[in-house]
Structure 1
């Protein structure tokens, strides 16, 4: 019996929690992450338009990094459908796939309609004020005819709705899927198109302020569906940049 008690005491000591502090993990972007972001941004902004030739050696030399992280970034961009890597003929920026654009729009619409419905129930007055402030900044960008600033503020508006709905992570999913839409948007983002988007954002904010889930869902549907009309017009003007083949 004494031996049994001794074993039990020993087991209890071994299972006691260890007095270890909780560490805060610091995540730093790798060189490959940084190369990927630079090239991804350039492709989506059309600074690197479709069919632009691009090489590992050139990117490596210009960015002052080794070939390995560039190769990794190229592979990630190819997997997303933004680069075509042909060992024999080189690497080029992919054509804009209409199928990929429509797929991205479907994913984004499904997520954002539900997010807007949720926002109507939970968004605070401070959240509505934050959205209103972003709309004021969008007006300034239109006055300046600053397309890149308006595009960034447009994204910030949609992201803020996700955050104010308590589902900020949804914007991460949207961002991973909307790149093919972004290239089309950059082709249409003149002053007239910016004003259309601004008025649609105001309609979304009005619906959120009225706490009307149906009106908010309808407003976001109208906003994200305009690309269906635009894509035919853009294809006619930039037909060499488009393909019907899915990436």
Structure 2
């Protein structure tokens, strides 16, 4: 393994936790660490300790321990009492499972959006497409990733089902590490065009076309997995043959 790929918690920027705010301290620690795992600031197999995270974030070890357990349950950390805690390798199975869940739910929201959309309700989606074009031109992949997520959230809201995104959120996180590995200027342009195709179908009220466009958009993660494995093979779990 090329150890230059591994992150270092000592060099990581982490926020000092505000003890009297919501959500809970444990949730704040969880959110901060998950964000850095998904963005690959903490890449797979990075060692991470409760004590060091607690010190950097200005909290006791108990909320950090709870956050670690939550991350481990979701498949993002491996906790081994004898050898310490490390960021988990990427599970292709978990990514494909997340794609299945997203496709089932987001196809339904697209079809519903086609039935209820109006020119006024579509304005936020058109504005997001315009901002995505700007992000692509600026080659700002972090901004594009954030706007990508906002686009999908907006479709759920348009369909009158914002709760759907809550159901999607935790499982889709496994897809996010793949997307960050493969989010190049070219892949951003592909994603942007797919978003345009989805919005065009919703604008036209064509539920079948919207379903096809969303399905194609979410299926592309399969291609991205192959590309990411070529670039960072050591980041992935070995598959049984």
Q: TM-score, normalised by structure 2?
A: 0.89
Q: Which residue pairs with 1:44 in the alignment? A: 38
Q: Which residue pairs with 1:145 in the alignment? A: 139
Q: Tell me if the contact between 1:99 and 1:245 (Cα under 8 Å) persists in the aligned partners.
A: no
Deviation at 1:227, TM superposition (A): 1.1
Flag structure 2 segments of 5+ consecutive residues without an equivalent: 1-20
Rounded Cα–Cα distance in structure 1 between residues aligned with 2:198 and 2:139: 23
Rounded Cα–Cα distance in structure 1 between residues aligned with 2:56 and 2:117: 46
Deviation at 1:39, TM superposition (A): 0.2
Deviation at 1:226, TM superposition (A): 0.8
> Which of 21, 24, 38 is equivalent to 1:30?
24
Q: Post-superposition, which runs of at least 4 consecutive aligned residues in structure 1 deviate over 3 A?
A: none
Deviation at 1:235, TM superposition (A): 1.0
Flag structure 1 segments of 5+ consecutive residues without an equivalent: 1-26
State how 1:152-163 maps to structure 2 within 5 Å. Answer: 152-163=146-157
Q: Tell me if the contact between 1:99 and 1:244 (Cα under 8 Å) persists in the aligned partners.
A: no
Deviating more after overlay: 230-239 vs 53-62? 230-239
Q: Over alpha carbons, which structure has the higher Rg?
A: 1
Q: Which residue pairs with 1:72 in the alignment? A: 66
Q: Which residue pairs with 2:198 in the alignment? A: 204
Q: For the aligned residues, what is the CA RMSD?
A: 1.3
Rounded Cα–Cα distance in structure 2 between residues aligned with 1:130 and 1:152: 15
Q: TM-score, normalised by structure 1?
A: 0.87
Q: Tell me if the contact between 1:104 and 1:181 (Cα under 8 Å) persists in the aligned partners.
A: yes
Q: Which residue pairs with 1:115 in the alignment? A: 109
> Which of 74, 95, 101 is equivalent to 1:101?
95
Deviation at 1:244, TM superposition (A): 4.3
- 1:87 is aligned to 2:72: no
Rounded Cα–Cα distance in structure 2 between residues aligned with 1:87 and 1:163: 43
- Deviation string for 1:133-183 (max 9, x for gaps)? 000011111121111110000000000000010000001111111011000
